[in-house]
Amino acid sequence: MIFMISGHPLLPSSESSSVVVHRRGTPGRNLHSFRCVSHNVSFSSSTYNETQTVLKDHQEEEQEETAVSAGATTRCPLEPLTSIARSLSVVTSKHLYSADSRSSQQQSLECPTKDRGSRVLWGSMELHNNSNNCTSFDISRGSSLVQDKLSKSQRLRNKSLDFDDNLLYAENPRLIYINDPRRTNDKYEFTGNEICTSKYTLITFLPKNLFIQFHRVAYLYFLAIAALNQLPPLAVFGRTVSLFPLLFVLCVTAIKDGYEDWRRHRSDRNENNREALVLQLGEFQMKKWKKIRAGEVVKIHADETIPCDMVLLGTSDPSGLAYIQTMNLDGESNLKTRYARQETASSVFEGCNVSGLIRCEQPNRNIYEFTANMEFNGQKFPLSQSNIVLRGCQLKNTDWIVGVVVYAGQETKAMLNSAVSPSKRSKLESYMNRETLWLSVFLLVMCSVVALGMGLWLHRHDEELDTLPYYRKRYLTKGKEKGKPYRYYGIPMETFFSFLSSIIVFQIMIPISLYITMELVRLGQSYFMIEDKHLYDSSSDSRFQCRSLNINEDLGQIRYVFSDKTGTLTENKMEFRKASVNGKNYESSDLTDDSLQDHDIGASAVIRSRWKLKSKISLDPKLMCLLHKDLAGDERIAAHEFFLTLAACNTVIPIVSQDPSSCDRRNGSLEDVEAVDYQGESPDEQALVSAASAYGYTLFERTSGHIVIDINGNKLRLDVLGLHEFDSVRKRMSVVIRFPNNTVKVLVKGADNTMFSILSGDSERDDRIRRATQNHLTEYSSEGLRTLVVAARDLTDAELELWQCRYEDASTSLIDRAAKLRQAAALVECNLNLLGATAIEDRLQDGVPEAIEALRQAGIKVWVLTGDKQETAISIGLSCKLLTADMQQIIINGNSEEECRNLLADAKIRHGVQSANRKKRKLKRKNSSESRYLEIADSAKASSVLQLCAGKEEPAACAPLALIIDGNSLVYILEKDLESELFDIATSCRVVLCCRVAPLQKAGIVDLIKSRTDDMTLAIGDGANDVSMIQMADVGVGICGQEGRQAVMASDFAMGQFRFLKRLLLVHGHWNYQRVGYLVLYNFYRNAVFVLMLFWYILCTAFSTTSALTDWSSVFYSVIYTSVPTIVVGILDKDLSHRTLLQYPKLYGAGHRHEAYNLQLFWITMIDTLWQSLVLFYIPLFTYKESSIDIWSMGSLWTLAVVVLVNMHLAMDIRRWVFVTHAAVWGSIIITYACMVVLDSIPIFPNYWTIYHLAKSPTYWLTILLITIVALLPRFLFKVVHQIFWPSDIQIAREAEILRKVPSTSRPEPDEGCS
């Protein structure tokens, strides 16, 4: 998003609706844009580093200032310009917003005659101080650099590597010979237009897929286990059986990856075989996309897709104008304008053959920049981004276009930007790895015990081995084998082999099935989140999206929410509210142009109006009256120029259509009213142009070189000589126009902090208007309105010639074009006459205050990071209940490192802020000494339930703090080792509000918390300027808003409104965290109890690593017998209903306290597992001690008993029983028994027919029942005692649900399908 004052998106957030303008007197030239593209756009576009540009700009300005002072220039002769139509294309840019400078020094590029202060650059941010040193601080490499935590020196030195080649492309340009692909490709052999998005081929699929899968260390572990089992001395299981679990996992993943890649191949094939018209042998013929080459001329018709990156040569419009839609590229639905050069457009339109040479930059990922030159018919002129159409865009509202291919296939900007968002990993999964390490230690200890026991046993019975049943040294059978060694390798080797065999037997101690189970559970959770009707936004018809499946549970542990303001907390639907014109304030009333008929003022003007806007605009009758007075006073002229500037200084596209349904019948007129709609990527610009139209200044035509404005029925054609786009250094935009009487004016609008420094102040009247306007701006900002300052002045012939010369030189420059264009703009953007200011309202979204309050009650801190003015941000903060009247505000507005240091130190002393280490120790003591309970309303409980109110927060000893800091201060704080001071203050505050921050500063703030705490962070935004913040945070949420889909495409989750964040975190986040936390612990328990049962058996069999269970039973235990109930419970179980979770936001604190999964719970689970394994092993052993039952029968008993036990253990913890849950838990036991019957019916297995003998015995079934009761009794007693004497918030709330007779399981809920 491009910000003006208060962060207004003055220009589009993506590719611009570019403007083609004419200048009289010279052949066509293109105006290049100024760009600083964030590295973290949705397609991972890189950041353009302007540091060197600004430094060169600074040096060149000093040289040029001398020439200006002398009244002459040596760069070009100032000759009179002829009146040949000249096409100047401009493109809007995607800039990092720059903090304002409060220094009294004026910018050197604002007016070349002013004194200069040195500049400090932070992510395309220019600041000023009084020193003479010019220092550059560059961190504009995107969030990846912040994430890497580069040292300060590295940050200062590092450059934007992605675009370095672009800056140097003039040394090695790409040569494109128009309509001569053979010559174009002879020397360089550019890539063809065939694309390939697939990962594999038939040959590379198996090795490449296996290589990727084995990046998981657990897979390597199980591969090693399977390999060990293939060795004869270690073959505990059957060799085939031991491979089954790993092969199953690998095959399932490979099938999934193969299917996805097959779809990519199919998509690529369909895309490559599409056809387009290509100029061949003098006529356009159909040709497959994959065969198109650089240098060929392609013709595209309306609604067709652009096959490759092409420079426009001509369009169906004689002026070379074309409209494109870039939704496939950046997600934005607004139309953009692109232009063919006037020189080539006329030739193409007349049907002439086109030939020439294009020198352009090498392929790069920057979709918002294109720098090139074209030689055509002996002329050489520049090309910019407004002259190129990119692959994937669609042609709209234009019959046809003709262009020459400059980039094809994998070298197109769309393909270069097809990178995915950085992968994120769940925090709970990282904790799980810690516990997995402990399980590995247990595994090694058990294996060491078995190996040591084996060695001692062999040593003790060394002389008896040939007579004992467990082991023999030699064959005793008769024949040639008699007396030969029998698999005996000596005590040391036998001990070692016993250790390795034990690892094989106990291998499932590390649960390989847990990885698949977690993926399936997360997939199921995502399905129910997507299907939740409460997360559907009907206004934008957008459903909830899960774009990342591996961090669902992190939604239940969020501690910090970093939010953008514009479009996230607000609607980003701008409405023109107030205006300050010539020092007087005008406010919109409820009157519209129709209702003005009842007023004498402006009635005649309304009668003449033929334009109908898409939306009604509220008008000020006094201002309407002023505009339609037949006066020539200063006030009338200022108002006229004010609205003329609003109508002319923009990049919107007017779309005019007849509206027969609305006829102007006023005073008997039956004339059709024409409807005008403005297409623009910036809602601010649309609001300003619409307001100008409502007041009688309607922009209704924009061509390649002029605009036409209807002023109360009188059409005024203005030639556009040049347009200087908004950029983050100047923070303003300007347009140079020629009136029909040959008067030339420059019209400017921009942020107040840059505009007031370039105003003329020669008279007392100017000072009076300036003071009045500043007061109005302060008033507007305090009301939360977004403000802009409007100014203009006439240009003399000498100033015009000088500017045209400098402008022409800048627009044709191949190196540092953006810096030179800023210098040219500085020639005319000075000594301006102040016309007034505008105030636009961006209303809050529905439910924002309630959502923020709920998040605050849940213990989540909400920080707002915005590009708006400080006053505007504070006003919005108050209206959305982020800020409250009782808060003490700490405001940090520093203009130097020393000042920022002093402000931070004073704030710490004044408010008693402690350092992070002391704060952490104090918090730990507080948490250990406090018992927090939930307060339940009296009406919700029976009288028998004690009302526990300790959950109420104690009244604070002092008022809560709110930190308000601007981007200017963050430049020094984030780069000058003041981060720790800022961190101490910020974490002590309840609210943090960062104003006028650049996109990379947003990422820096997120990293400040993420790198210094273990707390989970969530970033939410709607625009491209939020991408770096979204990707930096642990969880990124994109809003499907008005600014395109860059934020959505870079996010982990996406939704339509900010208010949905309340339900996403408090309900789904809580459920997901509780489910996955329990899932991990249960999987550890389930596998450990099985392994410990085997361990006790081995201790009783002379450490021989034999097993009473069949190989298939051991394999099926995790894969079939016990897996389904785990998955079902992980997807469907609910501890509380959604109503309770929303009613009591403090319940979310369970995730902050890690109640569902922590190290203490892990050890308690392991102790319980140890007890259950002992019961499981020894009760059957003692029961059948005196019987003649064989070992395989005991194995069958243990197999069924352990499955029944772990499923009953699971059933004890299920809080929500539905049909699917019953089917999974009890069905699992039935399936286990059925599988045992099948396996015991196969004659070749040693356990043949054992289950049939056991099932007849009552002792068998009583033993299983006794095992279950005795094993689970301690767990049951522990849960009862803990719930009675030390209940948690969740248990209290659940009790309240039951006593209200509306438990979540007793009747269907609205979200029953939205688990």
Please give the positions annotated as active site: 564
Burial profile 1244-1264: b = 16 or more Cβ within 10 angstroms, e = fewer: eeebeebbeebeeeeebeebb
**Beta-strand relationship, 135-137 and 118-122:** parallel
DSSP letters spanning 1090-1147: HHHHHHHHHHTTTT----SS-HHHHHHIIIIITHHHHHHHHHH--SS-HHHHHH-GGG
Burial profile 361-383: b = 16 or more Cβ within 10 angstroms, e = fewer: bebbbbbbbbbbbbebeeeebbb
Residue 938 to residues 171, 892, 935, 945: CA-CA distances in angstroms? 79, 45, 9, 10
Q: Catalogue the E-assigned strands of 423-557.
A: 545-546
Residue 561 to residues 978, 1035, 1062: CA-CA distances in angstroms? 23, 9, 11
**Beta-strand relationship, 1016-1021 and 1035-1039:** parallel
Distance CA 694, CA 690 (A): 6
Distance CA 916, CA 460 (A): 61
SS3 category, 722: strand
The tokens for 484 are: 């030969």
Looking at residue 759, the DSSP 8-state letter turns out to be: B
Distance CA 502, CA 499 (A): 5
Query: Smallest Cα–Cα separation from 701: which of 10, 12, 19, 11?
Result: 19
Looking at residue 1064, the DSSP 8-state letter turns out to be: I
Query: Smallest Cα–Cα separation from 42: which of 309, 417, 540?
Result: 417
Find out whether 1150 and 1070 touch, Cβ atoms under 8 Å. Answer: yes
Neighbours of 1200 (CB within 10 A): 24
- Kindly give the residue spans of alpha helices, DSSP state H, lying in 912-998: 916-929, 967-975, 979-988
Three-class secondary structure assignment of 612-664: EECCCCCCCHHHHHHHCCCCCCHHHHHHHHHHHHHHHCCCCEEEEEEEEEEEE
Distance CA 1172, CA 454 (A): 26
Nearby residues of 295 by Cβ (< 8 Å), 6 or more positions away: 176, 177, 178, 179, 180, 181, 182, 183, 184, 185, 404, 405
Looking at residue 277, the DSSP 8-state letter turns out to be: E
Find out whether 510 and 221 touch, Cβ atoms under 8 Å. Answer: yes
Find where tokens 């499932």 sit: 508
Identify residue 855 by its one-letter amino acid code: L
Distance CA 200, CA 902 (A): 59
Rg (CA), the chain: 37
**Beta-strand relationship, 379-383 and 372-376:** antiparallel
Burial profile 271-296: b = 16 or more Cβ within 10 angstroms, e = fewer: bbeeebbbbeeeeeeebebbebbbbb
The tokens for 259 are: 């299917």
Residues making up the chain, counted from first to last: 1315
Residue 617 to residues 693, 965, 1080, 1221: CA-CA distances in angstroms? 9, 35, 58, 57
Nearby residues of 1260 by Cβ (< 8 Å), 6 or more positions away: 1197, 1254
Find out whether 1018 and 1035 touch, Cβ atoms under 8 Å. Answer: yes
